[in-house]
């Protein structure tokens, strides 16, 4: 490792911030990537197309986020081997991961392409938007190999301490997607289907670009032909990634259920909720960047036997997140209607989007604490705990509360939106309790000779 990718020494704030910024940039571009679909369809397509992209993108988000969390096991394991100076093990990690994720892609392809209509019906897509939603899901399913490959390649680079390359990957994808949307939706009037085709094409180009960079990159390890098989490293990264993937799956499933609850309120509520979700994606960028950065940062320090520095990293992340979280909260509460207006010219859709945002707004502050703690536990291989606390939030708080709010005679998107910060508050309480327990029982390993404890 060079000085920039060695997280075991030097200023925590400076190194965390430097590593986080490219990740944040990539997340911003990813959010813009999805927002462009909604914006272009909202401006040049139909209200039914807007609802279709809203509902279909929820399905695609579930797939993407689950794959990302499963790949987190690869990130953590690579960073751990770098911290332990066992780089000869990394080739087997990447070879095994290639086989596992190829099989995951094949399964997702069959699911999304063959069951696009049942999925759309299950999501309670409004009747006017059902055919468009089905088309969006099926087209994205055809390109799922590229979507999975992009996320795996990004996690490999982050595990190596390189957060700048994934930023370039998503920048390429974002530019292609913008031009694709404008051409297929605005010019050829393909509506939601055009947005889906542009998404797949952009991901394909990004994957090719990422593979070229990986081949040209000077790697601290070698990959042999025999590494591409089911080897012992597969079990190791799956033990880390599977609990995270399961937790993310159920969390995203709760968002799909929430989308279905909202869809029952009508086409305008469905479209407004879709607009609000895109704004929410931007609001969650900094906490998400901190969580991803924390996993690599903490894992290196744990591998080097420096638990004290790992804990200090978590508190640094919480402090950074709270500063930005308060600013985003104020922006949403004061200008939420203006933000919604970027995605639609329909007054009813804008108002529905703002209504949901008013209930959701406290989440921007709460996640500043929760996501940094989750990143810390991920870096410590405590992914089973991360899964457990996530399931409690999802199944016992967010879903029941959102459903209860949606069936009230005076149901409003503001009250439904409150389910998110309520569940996160419970998650914070659980994680603080577990952190205190872990700190009391954790045996502090002695750092290697010459290791700086700061």
Q: 393-438: per-residue pLDDT in tens? A: 888 998 898 888 888 887 788 888 888 899 999 999 999 999 999 8
**Nearest by Cα to 410 from 355, 363, 364:** 355
Residue 1 reports pLDDT greater than 60: no
Is 80 exceeded by the pLDDT of residue 30?
no
- Share above pLDDT 90 across residues of the chain, in percent, rounded to a whole number: 23
Residue 408: exposure state from Cβ atoms within 10 A (0-12, 13-18, ≥19): exposed
| Structure confidence at residue 240 (pLDDT) | 84
- Residues with Cβ within 8 Å of residue 14, at least 6 apart in sequence: none
pLDDT at 35: 76
Question: Is the predicted pLDDT of residue 343 greater than 50, yes or no?
Answer: yes
Which candidate, 149, 148, 163, 150, places its Cα nearest to that of 66? 148
Average pLDDT on 320-345 reads 87
Give yes or no for residue 65 having a pLDDT over 70: yes
The ranges assigned to domains in the chain are 12-441
The average pLDDT across 20-37 equals 78
Residues 6+ apart with CB under 8 A from 438: 380, 382
Region of poorest pLDDT, from 302-306, 359-363, 412-416: 302-306
Confidence of residue 337 (pLDDT cuts 50, 70, 90): confident
* Reported pTM: 0.67
- Under 8 Å between Cβ of 421 and 414: no
Q: What is the pLDDT of residue 366?
A: 92
Beta carbons within 8 Å of 380's beta carbon, 6+ residues apart: 298, 299, 302, 310, 438
256 pLDDT exceeds 80? no
Lowest mean pLDDT among 62-66, 97-101, 244-248: 244-248
Rounded to an integer, the average pLDDT of 191-202 is: 92
Q: How confident is the model at residue 362 (pLDDT cuts 50, 70, 90)?
A: very high
Mean pLDDT of 250-264: 76
Tokens of 48: 């039914």
Give the model's pLDDT for residue 448. 47
pLDDT given at position 452? 40
Structural contact between residues 229 and 99, judged by C-beta atoms closer than 8 angstroms? yes
Give the pLDDT score at 454.
37
Q: Give the pLDDT score at 443.
A: 57
Mean pLDDT of the residues in the chain: 85
Least confident of 100-114, 312-326, 402-416, 436-450: 436-450
Q: Which of 133-137, 242-246, 259-263 has the lowest mean pLDDT?
A: 259-263
Please tell me whether residue 34 adopts helix, strand or coil conformation: helix
Confidence of residue 449 (pLDDT cuts 50, 70, 90): very low
Q: What is the pLDDT of residue 379?
A: 84
């Amino acid at each position: 490792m060079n000085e920039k990718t060695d997280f075991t020494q030097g200023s925590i704030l400076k190194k965390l911030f430097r590593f986080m910024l490219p990740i944040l940039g990539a997340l911003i571009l990813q959010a813009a990537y999805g927002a462009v679909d909604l914006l272009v369809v909202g401006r040049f397509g139909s209200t039914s197309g807007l609802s279709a992209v809203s509902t279909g993108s929820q399905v695609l988000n579930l797939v993407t986020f689950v794959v990302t969390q499963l790949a987190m096991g690869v990130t953590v394991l690579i960073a751990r081997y770098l911290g332990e100076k066992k780089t000869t093990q990394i080739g087997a990690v990447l070879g095994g991961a290639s086989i596992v994720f190829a099989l995951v892609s094949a399964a997702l392809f069959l699911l999304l392409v063959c069951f696009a209509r049942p999925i759309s019906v299950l999501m309670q897509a409004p009747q006017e938007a059902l055919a468009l939603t089905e088309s969006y899901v099926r087209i994205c399913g055809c390109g799922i190999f590229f979507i999975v490959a992009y996320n795996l390649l990004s996690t490999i680079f982050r595990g190596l301490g390189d957060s700048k390359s994934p930023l370039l990957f998503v920048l390429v994808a974002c530019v292609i997607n913008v031009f694709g949307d404008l051409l297929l939706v605005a010019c050829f009037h393909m509506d939601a289907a055009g947005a889906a085709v542009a998404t797949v094409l952009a991901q394909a180009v990004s994957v090719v670009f990422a593979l070229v960079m990986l081949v040209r990159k000077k790697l601290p390890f070698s990959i042999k032909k025999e590494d591409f098989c089911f080897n012992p490293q597969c079990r190791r990264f799956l033990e880390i990634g599977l609990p995270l993937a399961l937790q993310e799956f159920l969390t995203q499933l709760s968002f799909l259920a929430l989308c279905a609850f909202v869809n029952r309120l009508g086409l305008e509520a469905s479209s407004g909720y879709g607009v609000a979700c895109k704004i929410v994606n931007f609001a969650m960028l900094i906490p998400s960047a901190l969580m991803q950065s924390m996993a690599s940062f903490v894992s290196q320090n744990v591998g080097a036997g420096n638990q004290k520095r790992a804990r200090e990293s978590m508190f640094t992340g919480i402090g950074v997140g709270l500063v930005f979280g308060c600013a985003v909260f104020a922006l949403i509460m004061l200008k939420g209607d203006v933000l919604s207006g970027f995605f639609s010219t329909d007054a009813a859709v804008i108002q529905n989007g703002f209504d949901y945002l008013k209930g959701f707004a406290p989440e921007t502050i709460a996640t500043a604490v929760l996501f940094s703690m989750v990143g810390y536990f991920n870096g410590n291989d405590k992914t089973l705990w991360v899964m457990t606390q996530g399931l409690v939030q999802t199944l016992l708080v967010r879903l029941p509360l959102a459903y209860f709010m949606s069936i009230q005679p005076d149901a409003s998107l503001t009250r439904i939106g409150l389910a998110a910060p309520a569940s996160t508050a419970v998650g914070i309480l659980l994680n603080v309790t577990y952190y205190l327990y872990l700190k009391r029982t954790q045996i502090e390993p002695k750092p290697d000779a010459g290791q700086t404890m700061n």
